[in-house]
Amino acid sequence: MKRRLIINIGLLAGIGHDGRICLKGKEMGALHTLLNAYLVVEDGHFTDYGKMEDCPLSDDNVEVIDAKGGAVLPSWCDSHTHVVYAGSREQEFVDKIRGLSYAEIARRGGGILNSADRLHELGEDELYLQAMKRVSEIIRKGTGCVEIKSGYGLNTEDELKMLRVIRRIKATTPLKVVSTFLGAHAVPRFYKDRQEEYVDMIVNDMIPVVGTEKLADFIDVFCDTGFFTPEETARILEAGAAYGMQPKIHADELASSGGVEVGVEHNALSVDHLESMVEAEIQLLKDSHTIPTALPGTSFFLNMPFAPGRRMIDEGLPLAVASDYNPGSTPSGDMKFIVSLSCIKMRLLPAEAINAATLNGACAMGLSREYGTITRGKVANFFITEPIPSIDYIPYAYTTPIIQRTFLQGEEYV
């Protein structure tokens, strides 16, 4: 059994919340901390922590790691990403600067369809290598749990290619990965003006293969204006449920178009985006087990409204935040920056934003019993920062690279 003792921790944050799978409303303002602390990790799990004055003696069987006054936090839990994709889309970035909207670019055949074209031409091995560069990047930036979606295939063969790559990432990285099937990300060109036929293919061809091969933990639909209707979404979700895939829904990015409602009706674990959500949907979520997830990086990059994160917390909801890392609308998986945006643009307090990016992010992946806080018995995913004056410094210093060392399953990632 491998044992590590981290000493001289200036600030140990995100401790406790024993037994809580998420934090709601006012609870999100409590980020439990301990000054001048130690932390014990055994066999990949947290086993103890406390004040340095009470630190246990080390022996030859213990590896001692000196935090040198830095802070220790649980790893970020990023519950919405698209990190498996082919190439980049910087030309669309220029188009947006020139004034084209996300919807206009999509109507011209760009956006998701552009990524689908590129992915179709790329072999599985190269797709995996490209994705692993991004995976390494987000680990070094402090992420320890991540959800990865398909959705740039838009035909059975290419969707399966993406999901197989996600399975390889699960098997070859210490990052905790959950997978989501997003065949209903857009309607491919071949099915233009025949959207019902494409939905038929998702239900009758894609889902049975994905489900039988157990390639996805969750199922998602882009339920929004110009993409998939609530009725189509419900049909797809019901087909996925037959194979044990719980929904995680793209909802209310472009308009309040029924995504939250269909997500709640079908027991979605989360509804994500919410830039256009309305008050009635906030009230609907209060009576559900569905976690609203804001993606402030998307709003920042696309110059869109931000989800009403402050309002959701004030109404007692368990808000999560995630990166939406993808090639078109958010080419960044930097969760520290997402925490900063949550504070600056959605008016979350630093403790609320950090809880939204850790414990509540884990909950939005069904992982919060094992991840998201530094709690005895949970998996030891954490990072050590440079010495910082307070926890508020993390979102305040919004571009400063403060993370010095990262650990996944108790092992340092180098």
Q: Residues annotated in the binding site for 4-imidazolone-5-propanoate, as ranges?
A: 89, 152, 185, 253, 329
User: Which amino acid belongs to residue 80?
Assistant: H
**Token duo for residue 101:** 């909207």
C-alpha span between 29 and 136 (Å, rounded) = 31
Binding-site positions for Fe(3+) read 80, 82, 250, 324
Could you tell me which residues are annotated as the binding site? 80, 82, 89, 152, 185, 250, 253, 324, 326, 328-329
Binding residue positions for Zn(2+): 80, 82, 250, 324
* DSSP designation for 381: -
Residue carrying the six token digits 């990632």: 413
Report the alpha-carbon distance of residue 357 to residue 330 in Å, rounded: 17
**How many CA atoms does the CB half-sphere of 271 hold within 13 Å?**
35
Return binding residues for N-formimidoyl-L-glutamate: 152, 326, 328
Tokens 């719980």 correspond to 246
Residue reference for tokens 């233009």: 192
Q: Could you give the 3-state DSSP secondary structure of residue 278?
A: coil
Instruction: Say if CB 269 and CB 290 are below 8 A apart.
Output: yes
DSSP of 224-266:
STTSB-HHHHHHHHHHHHTTT-EEEEEESSSS--SHHHHHHHT
- What the block records as the tokens of 224 is 């929004």
Query: Largest Cα–Cα distance in the chain?
Result: 70
